[in-house]
Structure 1
Amino acid sequence: MVAALEVIGGLLLCLIIFYDLFQSVVLPRPAVNKFALVRFVLRRIWVGWRWVGSRMSSIARRETWLAAFGPVGVLTMFGLWGLALVLGYALLIDGLRPQIHPPPVNFGTSLYFSATTLVPLSYGDLVPIGEGARFVIFAESASGVILAALAITLLFSLYGSFQAREESVVTLDAIAGAPPSGVQLLENAAEHGMHEELVSTFDEWRKWAAMVL
């Protein structure tokens, strides 16, 4: 009975993570009313991160601290997905103990086997001998490769987007000052009659924000 519950629980957890991963990374456009487990966690982390930043007296330090949340959040997101997959597959492995040689002595051993398979760093001390266990190990190994590929792809994509942003920031300095100020941007546009430039500037940044989000 316990083994069956572990298999069901592990399968449900893996399916939830795969769905969250698909909606957040694979899907080319944001889904409406989607279930986003990692987004919920990141929002809670952001509350604490922002609270720490708001307590900093130095504006430069505060801005640096707040700006670091983006890349830290991306790494945290993939880390949480990885840990959740390790836990989900560990439940599946623990529920299939008789199909593994030697059988895991406890859940900690199943967790170890799952972690070394996802990375993958399997040392061969545990070997699946049943059809179900072999399929689970194969699926977890493939999941690790897919997760790593998605992480690398997303990081390169975000790097390209932020590099494009830096180029736009340099061009923005001419009318908004350095560092750019929204107030100065509006004042310069009004003073020099730069209505069209103002519209194009906002449109450019709107497109960049849509591309990143």
Structure 2
Amino acid sequence: MRTLALVCGLVLIFAILWDVFEAVILPRRVTRRLRLTNLFYSGGWVPWSNIARKMKLGRRREAMLSLFGPLSLLILLGIWAFCLILGYTLLFWGTNTVLNAGAEVVSFWTYLYLSGVTFFTLGYGDISPTSPVGRALAVIETANGFSLFALVISYLPVLYQSFSRREASISLLDARAGSPSSAVELLRRHRAENSFNDLNRLLTEWELWSAELLESHLSYPVLCYFRSQHDNQSWIRALTTILDTCSLLMLGLDDAPGWQARMTFAIARHAVVDIAQVLRTAPSPIQECAERLSSDDLHRMQEILAQNRVDLTIDEASEKRLEEFRKMYEPYVFALAKKLLMPLPPWILPEDAIDNWKTSAWGRLQ
């Protein structure tokens, strides 16, 4: 029995340390399915999101969903710590470590207490190992405890810096594309302000943003669950808006930065597909995605843009090209939006929509 406990302890410690290494240190996507972190997030998000689905749309539901990302970090840290403590407990018990415990009867729970005190470096001294093996295990466990918390302390700033950079660009999109953001509104506002040439610079910035999103969210998938400050904003909405915009520009609009639109579309689509793969989210059926832009909406979109001197020709050929562009990314953003409960942006901004920067707790600007 003690031999089995020794083996189980070694396996558990190695599995946890390797999981910490992959989740915190390794700067690349991990494709292996059987991971504690993956099991934790897939198993934890399902009941959490199911509860949220039963709530009414609004701030309370969004507030609950926004708790999952930060709270999951604390819970995952607790699971790592507990598993390491349990693993070293099995090693202490499996090696039958001799303890200086006074008159106390040594049991499995005594070893568990010793492991916990050692891991958190409390140093009470009421129970201590006296055998060479036990002392060596205590030193190693103390080093593991220090290392784990040092890694987490350095991990959190990196995580929140990536989150802040992501959200800064999303906030900047508010005045440019409306709230919620819309591809048609983005083009309309730039043409209305005679700033259509600025689209090249804007798309360049979003090309870099998409590349950073790809790198950060593949390395730290927990960022996918972090939500934006406003209910009508999200990284999925922003990314989809940029993909929609690039799709329209690639149809060949006058004065449109076609080359930059293709480059931004490529990296943004790459980000969507890879993030969907990391989250084990299969693309939605094409038929479901087709409902997002009806034929009537397409012609209405043409009218809105024409009123603002944006010449968008909608014929059979261009409509087919737009459909092909949409097929490249919409199945993935649909699936991600459904999984993460982040609605997709409209192609056309609703008439009653008000930009977030115009609203406050004390009123709205007209």
Question: Structure 1 residue 158: deviation in Å?
Answer: 1.2
Question: Structure 1 residue 167: deviation in Å?
Answer: 2.0
Correspondences of 1:44-123 after superposition (within 5 Å): 44-102=43-101, 105-123=106-124
**Partner of 1:39 in structure 2?**
38
**Partner of 2:174 in structure 1?**
173
Contact 2:2 2:94 in 1 (8 A): yes
Contact 1:100 1:128 in 2 (8 A): yes
List runs of 5+ in structure 2 lacking aligned partners. 218-366
Contact 1:11 1:92 in 2 (8 A): yes
Correspondences of 1:91-170 after superposition (within 5 Å): 91-102=90-101, 105-170=106-171
SS of alignment partner, residue 97 of structure 1: coil
Contact 2:100 2:130 in 1 (8 A): yes
Identity of aligned residues (%): 34
Provide closer, same or farther for how the CA distance between residues 96 and 126 of structure 1 changes in structure 2, counting only shifts above 3 A: farther
Question: What is the total number of aligned residue pairs between the two structures?
Answer: 208
1:187 and 2:184 are equivalent in the alignment: yes
**Partner of 2:207 in structure 1?**
203
Contact 1:100 1:127 in 2 (8 A): yes
Contact 1:25 1:150 in 2 (8 A): yes
Question: Structure 1 residue 65: deviation in Å?
Answer: 1.5
**Partner of 1:7 in structure 2?**
6
Larger radius of gyration: 2
State the one-letter code of the partner of 1:89.
Answer: Y
Provide closer, same or farther for how the CA distance between residues 9 and 131 of structure 1 changes in structure 2, counting only shifts above 3 A: same
Between Structure 1 and Structure 2, the one with more helix by share is 1
Q: In the aligned structure 2, how far is the partner of 1:77 from the partner of 1:125? A: 30
Provide closer, same or farther for how the CA distance between residues 150 and 98 of structure 1 changes in structure 2, counting only shifts above 3 A: closer
Question: Structure 1 residue 26: deviation in Å?
Answer: 1.1
**Partner of 1:212 in structure 2?**
216
Q: In the aligned structure 2, how far is the partner of 1:41 from the partner of 1:205? A: 28
Q: In the aligned structure 1, how far is the partner of 2:142 from the partner of 2:67? A: 31
List runs of 5+ in structure 1 lacking aligned partners. none
Q: In the aligned structure 2, how far is the partner of 1:200 from the partner of 1:53? A: 36
Question: For residues 16-70 of structure 1, what are the alpha-carbon distances to aligned partners after superposition, in whole Å with 9 as ceiling and x for unaligned?
Answer: 1111111111111123326421221221110011011111114222222112211
Contact 1:86 1:118 in 2 (8 A): yes
RMSD: 2.1
TM-score normalised by structure 2 residue count: 0.53
TM-score normalised by structure 1 residue count: 0.88
Contact 2:92 2:134 in 1 (8 A): yes
SS of alignment partner, residue 68 of structure 1: helix
Q: In the aligned structure 2, how far is the partner of 1:14 from the partner of 1:60? A: 41
Question: Structure 1 residue 136: deviation in Å?
Answer: 0.8
Question: For residues 153-182 of structure 1, what are the alpha-carbon distances to aligned partners after superposition, in whole Å with 9 as ceiling and x for unaligned?
Answer: 11111121122223212311122224x43x
SS of alignment partner, residue 200 of structure 2: helix
Question: Structure 1 residue 199: deviation in Å?
Answer: 3.4
Q: In the aligned structure 1, how far is the partner of 2:209 from the partner of 2:70? A: 20
Provide closer, same or farther for how the CA distance between residues 26 and 73 of structure 1 changes in structure 2, counting only shifts above 3 A: same
State the one-letter code of the partner of 2:123.
Answer: S
Question: Structure 1 residue 85: deviation in Å?
Answer: 0.4
4+ runs of 1 displaced by more than 4 Å? Answer: none
Q: In the aligned structure 1, how far is the partner of 2:75 from the partner of 2:29? A: 20
State the one-letter code of the partner of 2:134.
Answer: A
